[in-house]
């Protein structure tokens, strides 16, 4: 990564921090970009663009990869449009401003990256698995949700406990998907890697 690109990435991360936009942690993004760079991935569907950080990092990690990414929050989507332009990646990153659960996507993808509403992962998985190539991989971030999964307690709000329960249900769901090989990795905030058999 040259100095100019490094500084632009640093700016996006600073914007995310200053504006409380959740983006992937460094270990998580290292895993994801390494996966994209080393597995002959040509196209990725990302659910949850935020401001485009992970999409840009994936595109930079592999010059052959194209990314389609969906975001439902207008301000974040507009910020992502700006960021993708800054990197001149408009020809490789397609940004869609929609609710992913109300969007139909055509085409097949080698990797589907789920990084949107954490309580909706089963719905995202079932909606988009038809877009996965044979042998393709669905990667899901935040499986540990800041270390809270498996550690619920009374001091947590009902909403938070509900969210954690949904992540646990998704874990169980993935374990039961015997048509996928599933690994749960303690990397970043916990990453699930489900590869279609
Ligand atoms: N992947 C991004 C990164 O690491 O740079 C971070 C994504 S952030 C954790 C999750 C994003 O998903 C939020 O910006 C949120 O608005 C978006 N989101 C949540 N539910 C969504 C849905 N149903 N459709 C589209 N976007 C959604």
Ligand 1 shell residues, CB under 6 Å:
22-24, 48, 50, 53-54, 70-73, 76, 99-101, 115-117
Q: pLDDT value at position 147?
A: 83
State yes or no: pLDDT of 67 exceeds 90.
yes
Q: Which domains does the chain have, with CATH numbers?
A: 3-196 (3.40.50.150)
Q: pLDDT value at position 78?
A: 98
Q: How far apart are CA 60 and CA 180, in angstroms?
A: 28
Q: Which atom of ligand 1 is nearest to the CA of 48?
A: 12
State yes or no: pLDDT of 148 exceeds 90.
no
Ligand 1 centroid to residue 115 C-alpha, Å:
6
Ligand 1 centroid to residue 96 C-alpha, Å:
12
Q: pLDDT value at position 126?
A: 98
Residue with the bigger pLDDT between 170 and 146: it is 170
pLDDT in tens, 79-101: 999 999 999 999 999 999 999 99
> Is 89 strand, coil or helix?
coil
Segment 105-114 mean pLDDT? 98
Nearest CA, atom 21, ligand 1: 116
Secondary-structure percent of the chain, ordered helix, strand, coil, rounded to 5:
45, 20, 35
State yes or no: pLDDT of 177 exceeds 90.
yes
Alpha-carbon dihedral sign for residues 66, 49, 144, 8: positive
Ligand 1 pocket: which of 72, 139, 191 to mutate (most atoms <8 Å of CB)? Answer: 72
State yes or no: pLDDT of 1 exceeds 80.
no
Ligand 1 centroid to residue 48 C-alpha, Å:
3
Report the Cα 16 to chain-centroid distance in Å: 15
Segment 111-116 mean pLDDT? 98
pLDDT in tens, 35-66: 999 998 999 999 999 999 999 999 999 999 99
pLDDT band, residue 146 (cuts 50/70/90):
confident
Nearest CA, atom 18, ligand 1: 116
State yes or no: pLDDT of 194 exceeds 90.
yes
Out of 19-33, 61-75, 140-154, pick the least confident. 140-154
Q: pLDDT value at position 101?
A: 98
């Amino acid at each position: 990564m040259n100095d100019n690109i490094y500084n632009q990435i640093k700016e996006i991360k600073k914007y995310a921090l200053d504006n409380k936009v959740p983006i992937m942690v460094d270990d998580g993004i290292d895993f994801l970009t390494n996966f994209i760079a080393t597995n002959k991935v040509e196209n990725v569907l990302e659910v949850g663009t935020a401001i485009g950080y992970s999409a840009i990092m994936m595109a930079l990690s592999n010059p052959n990869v194209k990314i389609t990414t969906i975001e439902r929050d207008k301000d974040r989507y507009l910020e992502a449009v700006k960021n993708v332009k800054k990197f001149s990646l408009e020809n490789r990153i397609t940004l869609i401003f929609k609710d992913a659960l109300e969007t139909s996507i055509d085409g097949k993808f080698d990797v589907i990256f789920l990084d949107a509403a954490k309580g909706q992962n089963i719905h995202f998985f079932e909606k988009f698995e038809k877009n996965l190539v044979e042998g393709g991989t669905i990667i899901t971030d935040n499986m540990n949700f800041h270390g809270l999964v498996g550690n619920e307690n009374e001091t947590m709000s009902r909403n938070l406990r509900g969210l954690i329960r949904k992540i646990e249900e998704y874990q169980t769901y993935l374990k039961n998907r015997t048509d996928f090989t599933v690994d749960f990795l303690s990397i970043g905030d916990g990453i699930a890697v489900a590869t279609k058999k």
